[in-house]
Structure 1
Amino acid sequence: MIKIILTSMLAGSLLFSSQAGIAAENDVPYVEVGEVFQLLEENHVNKPTEPQLVTGALNQVGQEIQKLNKGKVQTDPEDDTLPELIGQLQEWEQAYLLDETDVNRWAINGMLSTLEDPHTVFFTKEELQRFEANVNNEYVGFGFRMRIQDAQLIIREVFPNSPAETAGLQPGDHLIAADGKDLKGKSFEDAYTLLQGKEGTEAVLTIFRPKENATKEFKVKRAVLSIPEVVSKPFQGDIGYIRLDTFGAEAAQEFQRHLYALSKGSKPVKGLVFDLRDNGGGYLGAAQDIASLFMEDGLLTYMQDRNGVEIARWVHNGEEIHIPVKILVNEGTASASELLSGALRDHGIATLVGTKTYGKGSAQQVIDLEEGDALKITLHQYLTPNRTVVNHVGLTPDLEVKDDIAQVIEALRSLGVKHFEVKEADGDVLINGVPFVVTHPLFKATPQGLMMRAEVFKSVMKQSEQANTDYVLIPSAVQSKIVQNSGEITLTFTDS
């Protein structure tokens, strides 16, 4: 079955067969180059030209040949057709004693490099398996989640009993390198490529730990991990909390179970905080099914192809939620997360709290190739029901709040919550009983006294001005609301 996938790393959208449809005998050279060429030229949303793709392929292969110290290659600028491309690749393969598999991948990556689209990607069979497992939160890895903050990859969560935890990695660690390969400034896609590997293999991860002002190296072994897609818990009071980490194959069923437990249990909640921060997306079908848990009928999105033809995706026979919803978003909220957030906002079901989202408003499809590999190709961009453009733009929240803990406080406040208990213990921050993993401590002890994150202090004090520092010294008016006990710090306050 072909699935539309909407993620910052993933795939999806449906217009033709899962096979590229190019007949090929075993002795036909560079079959996959031809398949990818045809798929891109005829279907990619950016409408690449034949000369553009040929030039990209030849340039990339030429560069790879030079890296092998086999001399500088010459290309004919008049070679701008697929047969001429295949002929030149064959000639170079024979002249420089190259491996056809290597040349095949170099040429395909060269074509993809001309698209200005990081979401169209060539996968080997093994890479596709890892990619699809990652969508479903089942993957081989180290056992941590990342976030991008100020162009830096930061570990935001370390899973219990994972290789990362065993090795000593911690939330807040800045990822500097993997096996000596620089990770600074990398996108999620590039970082994923550098970090991936087979089960049981080991990597040396270089991190910078701000709280110790130290650079450290850790040897971490990859293992098979299965992580729940949905986490939920009621806040103290009558507000529910649900976090969705990815729109995988089981996400909608998991989400329904958690939502029903909160909204239809013995003590139904009267409001919901829906956390989509750092959710890079997943399957469109999962987003559509989750939307049906919030509204009975309604337009989910417009899918627009390269010729401007639109396909409307609808929700039918769903169920209205009947309680106010606040969706937490940030710069890691991408693709399917943006699609769902935009749809629920346009229908007046939810408002967005946090920071501007990633801006990945395109849809891809994973297509099997003749020799067992696959192409993830961008076929559509999507618009919200009110025709808001998401791609390269993102969604601006209704209530803009920068700090991740302040975001939760403001979301609860906007749902009518007046009493707050904010506790920091064992590296986590609990807000009215719900734990949140943080990358920066909420409180900091200094010779001058106890300090608090400036943005959280601003939220506690209900101040509107922008904070111009990371931490502020806690004044006596707030000190009286703080209790310190056995390493735990608890701040309790009530809005007037």
Structure 2
Amino acid sequence: MFKQKLLVKIELAVMAIMLLGTSLYASKAFGKAEPSPQKLVDEVWQILDKNYVDVSFNHQDWKAIRQQYLGRSYSSNQQAYGAIQEMVAKLGDRYTEFFDPQEFKALNNDLSGNLSGVGLELAQNEKTKALTVVAPIAGTPAFKAGILPDDVIVQINGQITQGMKIEDAVKRILGPVGTKVVLTIQRGSQSQTFNLTRANIAIYPVTYNTRTTPVGKIGYIRLPEFTETAAAEMHRAIEALEQQQVQGYVLDLRSDPGGLLDASLQIASMWLKQGAIVSLVNRDQVKDSYNASGHPLTNKPLVILVDKGSASASEILSGALQDDHRARLVGTRTFGKGLVQAVEPLEDGSGLKLTIAKYYTPKGRDINHVGIEPDITVELTEAQQKALLQKQTLGTLADPQYASAVADLSKLIQSGADHVSLKSGK
């Protein structure tokens, strides 16, 4: 099965701004001679040749490209890295990227939930190519400063970002903890400057508490990213809230840019009794379907909060629960990323992230570039977003999207929807 070849990861272009930390992958070169630069170039070409989702390779003569890059003379791995980046860029896929050893360690940190930096999720606007904020990570310097989704980073420390590759932008934002980085942001017609201090960023995948409403206690769960520990944290949260006998749940996926596929599958099974979660289709049109495990932790009513910063794994989870009628979605249309990436470590400690498949919701919806429309749309103005961030009142009744979710959940509780929402109870 193609899903077993590589570690599958669902995520946005470049993850939160990161520094070094413990790598999830041991270098294949440990105890062995370093691969030659030419061998490294060919290794990347071979991985793409066997696994990349587009068999036309962006209408390139892929075999001729191999000969072109293997015909060069390389005196160092650094020269090979530059050539590999050129080669990968020919695919025209912003989600397929090469990482040198330092960058790959940083990527692994994100997978494990250990980050340091300013706490931004970045993407490149496909139409304008502008460096765009998908979402600030809650509690980080960028979040506290008031940077918002859809803000465009036009300068980094005075350097104009127009035409800058996203990996180059990330390198400029990287730096030791305690040092400064100055970001100039374009928000609509206004330009703002943010002086940010880089910091250690601990991502706690799940936070939760109980809230009192006129229809009884409800559980509020916030999931900022699908990291390695997210599923275990979610399991503990639901069990704890069940012991407190909540009547229903609000799951907040706003500004959650995604993460690991396995985490999204495990979490979906905590809410779904049966049925499909997602299907992946590779370049050979081979379809792999992933289904719920059949052991949900609760059947109580569920409302999910989403917005334009909810992407990838967030969309897999919310799309599955919406298609199954297990949950209702409140907020705004999601980001719209229906592609699957895999991460492959290379022999010298560098790594390759490549698009290997498209994914579809249980009802066969292709959400790529489209997103998922919520059942109840509640827009936030820029002023509202800024006020909620500054006052730290997201997820309270001062938050219009949360307030709408609670109102909808209350109706579901009153109507006894907990027994209707699962297929087995219809």
Indicate if the aligned counterparts of 1:428 and 1:435 stay in contact, CA closer than 8 A.
no
Distance 2:261 2:388 in 1: 37
SS in 1 for 2:353: strand
**Structure of higher CA gyration radius:** 1
Q: Which residue of 2 aligns with 1:112?
A: 88
Secondary structure at 2:303's aligned position in 1?
Answer: strand
Distance in 1, Cα, partners of 2:320 & 2:58: 37
How far residue 45 of structure 1 moved from its aligned partner, in angstroms, is: 0.2
Instruction: Tell me the residue number matched to 2:290.
Output: 313
Comparing 132-141 with 148-157, greater Cα deviation is found at: 148-157
Alignment-derived partner of residue 4 in structure 1: 8
**Deviation sequence 1:368-406 (CA, Å, 0-9, x none):** 212221111111111111111122222122222222799
Whichever residue aligns with residue 51 of structure 2, its letter is N
Structure-1 separation of matches of 2:50 and 2:77: 24
C-alpha spacing 1:45/1:181, structure 2 compared with 1 (3 Å): same
1:470-481 equivalences under 5 Å are none
- Aligned 8 A contact 1:299 1:315 in 2: yes
Q: Which residue of structure 2 aligns with residue 203 of structure 1? A: 181
Of 85, 94, 106, the match for 2:69:
85
- Alignment partner, residue 226 of structure 2: 247
Question: Counterparts in 2 of 1:112-191, with a 5 A limit?
Answer: 112-142=88-118, 153=133, 159=139, 169-170=145-146, 176-182=154-160
Alpha carbons of 1:184 and 1:137: their partners in 2 closer, same or farther (altered >3 Å)?
Answer: farther
TM-score by length of 2: 0.74
Describe the shift of the 1:39–1:270 C-alpha distance in structure 2 as closer, same or farther (beyond 3 A). same
2:406 maps to 1:429: no
2:40 and 2:371 map into 1 onto residues whose CA distance is 34
1:343 maps to amino acid: A
Q: 1:317 to 1:145 in 2, by over 3 A?
A: same
Tell me if 1:30 matches 2:6.
no
TM-score by length of 1: 0.65
Unaligned runs of 5+ residues in structure 1 are 12-17, 55-78, 94-98, 409-422, 437-441, 443-454, 460-496
Match of residue 368, structure 2, among 376, 379, 391:
391
| Structure 2 CA distance for partners of 1:185 and 1:84, relative to 1, 3 Å | closer
Distance 1:109 1:395 in 2: 32
Q: Give the superposition deviation at 1:263.
A: 2.7
Deviates more, 1:106-115 or 1:174-183: 174-183
What value does the CA root-mean-square deviation take over the aligned residues?
4.3
Residue number in structure 2 paired with 1:413 = none
Amino acid at match of 1:253: A
Contact 2:257 2:309 in 1 (8 A): yes
- How far 1:353 moved relative to its partner? 1.5
Contact 2:146 2:389 in 1 (8 A): no
Q: Give ranges in structure 2 of 5+ residues lacking alignment.
A: 16-25, 406-426
CA deviations on 1:143-198 (whole Å, 9 max, x unpaired) are 56789999764875662xx6669xx8345696553222345899987754542334
Distance in 1, Cα, partners of 2:55 & 2:398? 47
Which shows bigger deviation, 101-110 or 306-315?
101-110
Q: Deviations over 1:74-110 (max 9, x none)?
A: xxxxx925244322x21xx6xxxxx533431222122
Whole-angstrom CA distance in 2 between matches of 1:352 and 1:396: 8
Q: Is the 8 A contact 2:306 2:329 kept in 1?
A: yes
| DSSP-derived class of the 1:333 partner | coil
Q: Is the 8 A contact 2:28 2:349 kept in 1?
A: no
The answer for the alignment partner of 2:204 in structure 1 is: 228
> In structure 2, what is the equivalent of residue 350 of structure 1?
327
The answer to whether structure 1 residue 300 and structure 2 residue 277 are counterparts is yes
Aligned residue type for 1:30: Q
Alpha-carbon distance in structure 1 between the residues aligned to 2:354 and 2:369: 17
Matches within 5 A, 1:335-414: 335-403=312-380
Which has the higher relative contact order, 1 or 2, with Cα contacts under 8 A spaced 6 or more apart? 2
Q: Counterparts of 1:4 and 1:154 in 2: how far apart (Å)?
A: 21
SS state of the match for residue 232, structure 2? helix
The whole-number CA distance in structure 1 between the counterparts of 2:341 and 2:389 is: 42
1:356 & 1:392 partners in 2: Cα distance? 11
What amino acid is aligned across from residue 178 of structure 1 in structure 2?
I
**Offset from partner CA, 1:254-311 (integer Å, 9 cap, x none):** 112222222331xx22221111111111111111111121023322111110010111
Deviations 1:225-272 (A, max 9, x none): 21211122223313322110001011011112222222331xx22221
- For 1:279-290, list aligned pairs within 5 A: 279-290=256-267
For residues 191 and 322 of structure 1, do their structure 2 counterparts lie closer, same or farther at Cα, with a shift above 3 Å needed? Answer: farther
1:489 aligned partner: none
- The answer to whether the Cα contact below 8 Å between 2:250 and 2:302 also exists between their aligned partners in 1 is yes
Counterparts in 2 of 1:377 and 1:20: CA distance versus 1, 3 Å = farther
- What SS does the corresponding residue of 1:30 show, helix, strand or coil? helix
Q: Which residue of 1 aligns with 2:52?
A: 44
Partner letter of residue 294 of structure 1?
W
Q: Which one has a larger percent strand, Structure 1 or Structure 2?
A: 1
Question: What is the distance in 2 between the residues matched to 1:309 and 1:156?
Answer: 36
Residues of 2 paired with 1:128 and 1:425: CA distance?
31
Shift of the alpha carbon at 1:317?
Answer: 3.7
Paired residues, number: 378
Contact 1:244 1:275 in 2 (8 A): yes
What displacement does 1:117 show?
1.5
Q: Is the 8 A contact 1:356 1:396 kept in 2?
A: yes
How many Å apart are 1:28 and its aligned residue?
4.6
Cα distance in 2, alignment partners of residues 321 and 279 from structure 1: 23
Query: What SS does the aligned partner of 1:197 have?
Result: coil
CA distance in 2: counterparts of 1:109 and 1:27, whole angstroms: 18
